[in-house]
Amino acid sequence: MMKLFLLCLLYIQVFSLSPDTLAKQHTDGYVNIAEADTSAGILILVNKDHKLPEGYRPDDLVPIEEAYNRGAMNLLRKEAASAFANMCRRAAKDSITLWNRSAYRSDTVQQELFENAVMRRGLKSAEQFSARPGHSEHQTGLTIDINNVHYSFGNTPEAAWLKEHAHRFGYIERYPQGKENITGYQYEPWHYRYVGKKAATYIYQHKITLEEYHEIIGKQTRKTSR
């Protein structure tokens, strides 16, 4: 009964706020929401301003190789899963052990996680590290939490290896330190997103986020279309 009461309060808090209140509380997103462009493939942008269609699920999800999985949520899109396995094999040659902790999540699972985060931390705090359903990159099947979902992971040899080498396998550190005002989320050294080698290398070399990359690509497209 208590849980039901808390969930009712959550829904009222999240979905019944006036536009002015939302704009005040969420200066980093959830104000002008566009539908995520699923035609962008592995470069799809999903964040607080871009929401996946309800019930979205990639049609090419496959299990992560068992040797590199320790999580119940063990699905990735086929291309991302293959790249992750290759990255893990290469890391092992450097005595670095990598594994999946959490990969694809449905919007239903994400809703449960978000509600729990709000009940534990409150809405404002929860939205710094937990996405609303439809706004989570995990639902794309292109995102993976690696090894340890604690900030101390950022100080490990595994995290250092990923920072230096992940782009060679098409992965980027999605929520880097110092870019919180752009991504809308706190630093997460364990959260990696597959975008393909070309985009990942560009993002790595220019020290930018996926949001900034999309802005650059958008400007180039608009310029060449004139």
Catalytic residues: 188
User: What's the CA gap between 211 and 163, in Å, rounded?
Assistant: 18
CA 200 to CA 142: how far, in whole Å?
A: 13
CA nearest to 136, candidates 112, 172, 119, 101: 112
CA-to-CA dists, residue 202 to 36, 174, 176, angstroms: 22, 14, 15
By C-alpha distance, which of 87, 61, 83, 72 is closest to 158?
A: 87
Number of H helices, E strands in the chain: 9, 8
Report whether 128 contacts 187 (CB < 8 A).
no
